Amino acid sequence: MSGRDWRTIGVDAPPDRAPLPPWIGWAIPPLLAPLAAMAWVAIRWDRIPLRYATNFGPGGHANGWQTRTPLHVCGPLIFAEGLAVWMLTLALIAWYGMRRSGGRSTMETIFLAVMYVLSLIFTVVAVTPVVRIPAWPVAMLVPVAAISLLIYVARKAMDDPDPEPGHRAGDTPKECWSLGGIYNNPKDPALFVPKPDGLGYTLNMANRLSYAFLAGLLAGIAALSGFLLWSQR
């Protein structure tokens, strides 16, 4: 049955036929957070001192200062927005190029969780010129989120039922694996496949899109990091 037929009869299309992943709505808040913060900062622009504190020592004393300019104030928010868009792009590429398996929903959850954490951290840091926020809650967020994700992944690995036949990690030919985790199978159209141990995914290096994905990954990191450093110089 075609995608048009699914829409006509009002039945949800199977995940692999859906035009957008079912979790796409959950990706909206981390995309909107930096934009909302940017608007909030703009409304309170006159409350920001011409020279404001950006870093604070253990005793709460300022030890870093920055001049009030749109680029200096909004640079971290622009970075946060770019980071969220970049993470969403990676998640969409992974979703469309990933084999179905029990770990697929786990990977989607990890992408979304990282989007939320990074968007929240950089948004909170960026609004500090307007409102003083203690540093310790932000600092604690990263280890708490990391530990929570590890627990989640471990539980999903134990609780998830076997994936559908034809989509198990073990269904990838053994001769296509090398060095314990490099997959190279020109006959497999998937961009991502489950790892042999069933924990996570890896790229099919025989797929030319794998190299475009890696190049985009590195380019995104370089561009975002370069922009943040340039905006705060």
Over residues 80-98, the pLDDT tens digits come to: 999 999 989 888 888 888 7
Distance CA 153, CA 111 (A): 12
| Strand 177-178 versus strand 51-56 pairing type | unpaired
Number of domains the chain is built from: 1
The overall pTM is greater than 0.85: no
Least confident segment among 25-34, 49-58, 117-126: 49-58
Contact 194, 35 (CB under 8 A): no
Q: Identify which has the larger pLDDT, 88 or 7.
A: 88
Average pLDDT over every residue of 35-64: 78
Contact 121, 142 (CB under 8 A): yes
Contact 56, 62 (CB under 8 A): yes
- Give residue 79's pLDDT: 92
- Give residue 226's pLDDT: 94
- Give residue 7's pLDDT: 37
Q: Is residue 153 part of a domain?
A: yes
Distance CA 91, CA 113 (A): 11
Q: Is residue 112 part of a domain?
A: yes
The pLDDT confidence band at residue 223, using thresholds 50, 70 and 90, is very high
The pLDDT confidence band at residue 227, using thresholds 50, 70 and 90, is very high
Distance CA 184, CA 83 (A): 30
- Give residue 114's pLDDT: 85
Q: How far is CA 183 from CA 10, 99, 132, 165, 194, in A?
A: 39, 13, 49, 20, 10
3-class SS at 207?
A: coil
**Of 82, 97, 80, 120, which Cα lies nearest the Cα of 189?**
97
**DSSP tally for the chain: helices H, then strands E:** 6, 6
Helix 70-97 to helix 28-43 angle (10° resolution) is 170
Residue type, position 113, single letter: A
Q: Is residue 48 part of a domain?
A: yes
Average pLDDT over every residue of 155-169: 52
**Domain membership of residue 29 as a residue range:** 25-55+63-165+209-231
Q: Is residue 182 part of a domain?
A: no
**Of 106, 129, 126, which Cα lies nearest the Cα of 195?**
106
- Give residue 5's pLDDT: 37
Q: Above 90 in pLDDT, residue 31?
A: yes
Residue type, position 97, single letter: G
Q: Is residue 218 part of a domain?
A: yes
Q: Among positive and negative, which fits the CA dihedral 107, 113, 115, 121?
A: negative
Q: Is residue 1 part of a domain?
A: no
Q: Is residue 109 part of a domain?
A: yes
Q: Is residue 80 part of a domain?
A: yes
